[in-house]
């Protein structure tokens, strides 16, 4: 265990070192070491209430915002690096385990699938008592898929073996790298599509999805996250599931926190919230769009 004061002091120190490398956060011995130390530190069970100024002074809140941005930048560069390496292999799908955090994706995808099954069971019970259609998981959208769309890949290969996945990302290079990773696998290639666009420009198409995943780094600030959630609620079909990645306690130095009120205000019913205690960093929120 570590005290809140000691953890915050260590995070501030690491932030200073990481910020000094901002011009080049590509994978290297030094970059890998600093981020590994940061992640290990933030995995400690140490309660930090980021809504409480006594827990989180203004300077710490500022550093947290900077760290989330730096972590996102470094994560993107790490994924690009490995997507290029794997994409040059004859069968990239047989070497995903080379990605340093692949085991985390295996655990996270299993967790999210389990939570979705629970939500589907609850929804089916409700649907049985009404005229609502039964929930399926045949068509999935992943918003913010990046150059290493491992959640979609793991879900498609291990859990949702008949589902079609539409992956959305702003970066055309990310989508090009991602499509190369599945091109040599006939099954994955036939069920995965990649779209370069802003999700705020995707309208009626969202109503065709049974499940929508929202990556943690899509909408770094609360205002943009609120705007995205509102857009999804206006275009998804009632009863469809939304899986949102968030963060809790010290892990919120790495990823944004999604306040449940943002979902509720947008018209989503929160069905479950899970905060991991192992090496998986992201919290998971499963919600469904209520009838509007």
| Pure H helices in the chain | 4-19, 29-42, 58-87, 102-128, 150-154, 172-182, 186-191, 222-235, 260-266
- DSSP string across 261-286: HHHHHHTEEEEEEE---SS---EEEE
Query: How far is Cα 211 from Cα 286, in angstroms, rounded to an integer?
Result: 10
Beta bridge partners of 140: 165, 211
- To the nearest 10 degrees (0 to 180), the angle between helices 29-42 and 58-87 is 130
Q: For residue 131, what pLDDT band results from cuts at 50, 70 and 90?
A: very low
How many CA atoms does the CB half-sphere of 148 hold within 13 Å? 23
Instruction: State how far the Cα of 93 lies from the Cα of 89, in Å rounded to an integer.
Output: 9
For 244-287, write each residue's pLDDT tens digit: 999 999 999 999 999 999 999 999 999 999 999 999 999 999 99
Token pair 């959305």 in the structure block, residue: 168
Sheet hosting strand 241-246, strand order edge to edge: 192-196, 164-169, 139-143, 211-214, 241-246, 283-289, 268-274
Q: 139: helix, coil or strand?
A: strand
The C-alpha atoms of residue 161 and residue 286 are separated, in whole angstroms, by 21
Token output for 252: 């919120």
* DSSP state letter for 165: E
Looking at the chain, the whole-number percentage of residues with pLDDT higher than 70 is: 94
Give pLDDT tens digits for 189-209.
999 999 999 999 999 999 999
pTM: 0.93
Please give the Cα distance from 42 to 50 (Å, whole number): 14
Listed as own residue / partner, the contacts of 120-123 with beta carbons closer than 8 Å and 24 or more positions apart are 120/241, 122/271, 123/239, 123/241, 123/288
206 touches 252 (CB < 8 A):
no
Please give the Cα distance from 206 to 167 (Å, whole number).
12
Residue 22, pLDDT score: 83
Is residue 146 scored above 80 in pLDDT? yes
pLDDT over 80 at 135, yes or no = no
Identify whether the C-beta of residue 168 lies closer than 8 Å to the C-beta of residue 202: yes
pLDDT at 78 over 90: yes
Tokens of 29: 């011995």
- Kindly indicate the confidence band of residue 46, based on its pLDDT and cuts at 50, 70 and 90: confident
CA distance 76 to 81: 9
Predicted pLDDT of residue 119: 76
Tokens encoding 196 = 């370069």
- Nearest CA among 273, 285, 150 for reference residue 229: 285
Residue 185's nearest CA partner among 153, 151, 143 is 153
């Amino acid at each position: 265990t570590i005290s809140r004061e000691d953890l915050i002091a260590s995070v501030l120190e690491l932030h200073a070192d990481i910020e000094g490398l901002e011009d080049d956060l590509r994978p290297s011995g030094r970059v890998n070491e600093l981020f590994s130390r940061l992640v290990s530190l933030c995995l400690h069970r140490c309660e930090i209430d980021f809504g409480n100024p006594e827990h989180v002074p203004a300077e710490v809140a500022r550093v947290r915002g900077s760290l989330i941005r730096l972590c996102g930048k470094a994560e993107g560069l790490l994924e690009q690096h490995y997507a290029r390496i794997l994409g040059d292999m004859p069968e990239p799908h047989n070497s995903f385990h080379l990605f340093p955090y692949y085991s985390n994706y295996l655990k996270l995808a299993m967790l999210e699938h389990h939570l979705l099954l629970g939500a589907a069971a609850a929804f089916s019970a409700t649907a049985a008592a009404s005229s609502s259609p039964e929930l399926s998981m045949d068509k999935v959208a992943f918003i913010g898929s990046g150059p290493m769309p491992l959640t979609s890949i793991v879900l498609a290969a291990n859990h949702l073996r008949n589902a079609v996945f539409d992956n959305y990302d702003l970066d055309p290079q990310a989508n090009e790298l991602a499509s190369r990773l599945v091109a040599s696998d006939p099954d994955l290639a036939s069920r995965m599509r990649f779209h370069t666009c802003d999700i705020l420009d995707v309208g009626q198409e969202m109503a065709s999805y049974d499940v929508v995943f929202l990556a943690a780094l899509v909408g770094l600030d609360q205002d943009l996250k609120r705007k995205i959630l509102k857009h999804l609620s206006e275009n998804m079909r009632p009863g469809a599931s939304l899986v949102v990645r968030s963060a809790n306690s010290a892990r919120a130095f790495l990823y944004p926190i999604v306040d449940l009120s943002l979902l509720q205000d947008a018209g989503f019913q929160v069905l479950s919230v899970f905060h991991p205690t192992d090496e998986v960093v992201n919290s998971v929120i499963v919600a469904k769009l209520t009838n509007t």
